[in-house]
Amino acid sequence: MKPTCRILFNCRNSAIFGFPPAKCVNGNSAKLCLNFERKAQFHTSPYHSFSGFRRIVDDARKKFRVPNWSFGQSGVIISRSNDVGMRNRVVSVIANASSSRFRDFSTSVETRVNESNFERIYVQGGVNVKPLGVERIDKDENVVGGGEEDSGTEVVGEKLNVENEGELKVESPKREESQIEKEAWKLLKDAVVTYCGSPVGTVAANDPNDKLPLNYDQVFIRDFVPSALAFLLKGEGEIVRNFLLHTLQLQSWEKTVDCYSPGQGLMPASFKVRTVPLDGNNFEEVLDPDFGESAIGRVAPVDSGLWWIILLRAYGKITGDYALQERVDVQTGLKMILNLCLTDGFDMFPSLLVTDGSCMIDRRMGIHGHPLEIQALFYSALRCSREMLSVNDGSKNLVRAINNRLSALSFHIREYYWVDMRKINEIYRYKTEEYSLDATNKFNIYPEQIPSWLMDWIPEEGGYLIGNLQPAHMDFRFFTLGNLWSIVSSLGTPRQNEAILNLIEAKWDDLVCHMPLKICYPALESEDWRIITGSDPKNTPWSYHNGGSWPTLLWQFTLACIKMRKLDLARKAVALAEKRLLVDHWPEYYDTRTGKFIGKQSRLYQTWTIAGYLTSKMLLDNPEMASLLFWEEDYELLEICVCGLGKTGRKKCSRVAARSQILV
């Protein structure tokens, strides 16, 4: 008996997308849930970095003076037509370079996004969105090796390149997968979760000996990102497309904690596919999301929506399927997330104000306020959104707000979060209680806050972005994810990005040692641990979030190293992880100062440990693919920077003034 499927919810707000919850109906004439039985689907190749085509695009972009971030999109689409006794493959390169695709970014300082039109359209359900349609990619067993009738196009390997403005060159894979990679792929595929017969994600951990999985048997948005990238780089995009659309559908529903509901547009932290019995022998599958109402600490995930936006862009970049991000329901969900993040409040800073436990560090660790991890992901999500938003009369104010927030946020983080030997010396001599627009110590930081460990630890060549900044408080801990993602997104300046990797290399024994990479350094110990964590027995010193080593950070470290052309550093870290991960059964995290021991409460067969390793290996094998996942410095943002660089207060910075102040 095939199950029906629906989404388990209070359905009061279902009109926001203009369609009811997804359902699967029993019966021979019924269609499976969400059009999963449709077979006609283009097949996209993940390899569409064509040197010749890129040269044409770059020349055209320069000729028309179009900024790089606003110029079109490209992809390879492989379609099939089945005739009697014949199968043709047509390869076409599509470049949407028309003027209608150019982003017309305003330099106005207006940042209001809560206008009545936006609320009417995107909150009150005024858009009649077409039903969610997820199409299965129909795989062809004969994809490799085309026949003589392929119109001069031969496909004999996984990688395609275009040279000489149209000539298709075929490259075969450079090496065979190692035994550890084969084992990792098997485990990753075993972790796949299906809904109505189609893949929708991967469980957080899949340890067969774990009798109390808690919520590790759920699909987490944050955890699925490395799995999604591994599948995309492998050329398997169906699971990622399904995941993006299903989590989008979960976004619109109302969840409460003790009669109180979080802001609209919030993405769930995770979801689970549950089987619910009906009358007789019938049963149905339901998607049950968790917005934090069941989580330890009852904290809503701030980073889920940001990761969703980042993954949406990565899906389009790698597969070439830009039609997904242009769908009305996807554009609506994207705007809802942005509206939630850009809502005006009481904060004077452009950084997002969040509570403890709202990101990867999801327990009390003293990161409440403006943690670097959230700011780096926020900046990345804004840059993604600027590329993907359809610019029209209904979104122009939102685009304007994104531009202004990007420039203000980059200035704020680069100027006030950065520390190196020179900056620490400056803080060491700060004057306090300064009241004026031209104050040097704007946040009233007391020099006594500089910890003794930092004075001896900071290298001469190198620096990093601190973990947090609030009035009279600087968190000098090194948080790896925030610093790595600042490199990937170019939140830091080119010199800062290079200095961060220089610091990691110089302090390799502290931040990597036996297993990459420390989630933060140093750990909270003694009274600091008792007061700041509340004596958390799981976050004891050098364990879990409190200085533990997390192998899943490997793929982000690899991406940052490729961007900064330090591939040897990434290969060194990957080789180090390979020695332990398979033998130790892919733990979630490692304990102790050197990362020698498997975490005391670490789950084994942790999916994002497996996926992080696979993604790192594939990125190192194909470094050109990494360019689709990171951003270069955007100097045009500096032209619209709004800040108080001079004694006259708020003013619009010129490019020269902004660069002289920001680029260290």
Q: What would the pLDDT profile of 324-382 be if each residue is shown by its tens digit? A: 999 999 999 999 999 999 998 898 999 999 999 999 999 999 999 999 999 999 999 99
pTM (2 decimals)? 0.76
Range from 116-120, 181-185, 437-441, 529-533 carrying the lowest mean pLDDT: 116-120
- pLDDT bin (cut points 50, 70, 90) of residue 53 is very low
Residue 604 lies in a domain: no
Query: Which of 211-220, 227-236, 579-588 shows the lowest per-residue confidence on average (mean pLDDT)?
Result: 211-220
Q: Is the pLDDT of residue 638 over 80?
A: no
**Bigger pLDDT: 347 or 216?**
216
271 within some domain: yes
- Is 90 exceeded by the pLDDT of residue 65? no
Higher-confidence residue: 160 or 388? 388
The DSSP-derived string for 529-555 is HHHHSSS-SSS-TTBTTBT-B-GGGHH
pLDDT of res. 146: 39
Handedness of CA 390, 391, 396, 399 (dihedral sign): positive
**pLDDT(246) > 60:** yes
pLDDT recorded at residue 175? 82
Confidence category of residue 261, pLDDT binned at 50, 70, 90: confident
Average pLDDT over residues 270-295: 90
Q: Is 580 exposed, middle or buried (0-12, 13-18, 19+ CB in 10 A)?
A: middle
Is it the case that residue 205 has pLDDT exceeding 50?
A: yes
Mean of pLDDT values over 617-621: 97
Structure-model confidence comparison of residues 2 and 545, the more confident one = 545
pLDDT digits (tens, 9 = 90+) for 12-31: 344 344 444 444 443 333 33
What pLDDT, on a 0 to 100 scale, did the predictor assign at position 279?
82
pLDDT of residue 126: 34
Residue 44: inside a domain: no
Q: Is residue 558 part of a domain?
A: no
Is 163 a domain residue? no
Residue 161: enclosing H or E segment and its boundaries? Answer: strand 159-163
pLDDT at residue 531 above 60?
A: yes
* 211: exposed, middle or buried (Cβ count in 10 Å: 0-12, 13-18, 19+): exposed
Considering only CA atoms, which of 249, 296, 302, 256 is closest in space to residue 271? 249
Residue 16 domain-assigned (yes or no): no
Residues of the domain holding 207: 177-300
pLDDT tens, residue by residue, 599-611: 999 999 999 999 9
**Percentage above 70 pLDDT, the chain:** 69
CA separation for the pair 207, 212 (Å, rounded): 10
The pLDDT value recorded for residue 169 is 41
Lowest-pLDDT range of 272-276, 281-285, 461-465, 635-639: 635-639
Q: Is the pLDDT of residue 312 over 50?
A: yes
- Whether the CB-CB separation of 372 and 541 falls below 8 Å is answered with no
Q: What is the pLDDT of residue 621?
A: 96
To which H or E segment does residue 455 belong?
A: helix 452-457
Residue 255, pLDDT score: 67
Q: Would you state the pLDDT for residue 26?
A: 38
From the list 43, 79, 103, 173, the residue with the least C-alpha distance to 391 is 103
Q: Would you place residue 173 in the very low, low, confident or very high pLDDT band (cuts 50, 70, 90)?
A: low
Note whether 376 and 475 are within 8 A (CB).
no
CB 406 within 8 A of CB 376: no
* CA–CA distance, 180 with 385 (Å, rounded to integer): 37
Q: Is the pLDDT of residue 198 over 70?
A: yes
Cis, peptide link before residue 522, omega less than 30° from 0:
yes
Specify the pLDDT at position 579.
96
* Mean pLDDT for the stretch of residues 442-449: 95
Structural domain contains residue 214: yes
Pairwise CA distance, residues 410 & 430, whole Å: 23
Give domain status of residue 252, yes or no.
Answer: yes
Measure the CA–CA gap between 663 and 490, rounded to whole angstroms: 12
Contact 239, 197 (CB under 8 A): no
Closest alpha carbon to 524 in 358, 296, 366, 357: 366
Average pLDDT for the chain: 79
Whether pLDDT at 81 is above 90: no
> pLDDT tier at 168 (50, 70, 90 boundaries)?
very low
Confidence grade of residue 581 (pLDDT, cut at 50, 70, 90):
very high
Residue 385 has pLDDT above 60, yes or no: yes
What's the structural domain count of the chain?
1
Q: Where are the beta strands (DSSP E) in 246-298?
A: 270-277, 283-290
Whether the predicted pLDDT of 79 surpasses 90 = no
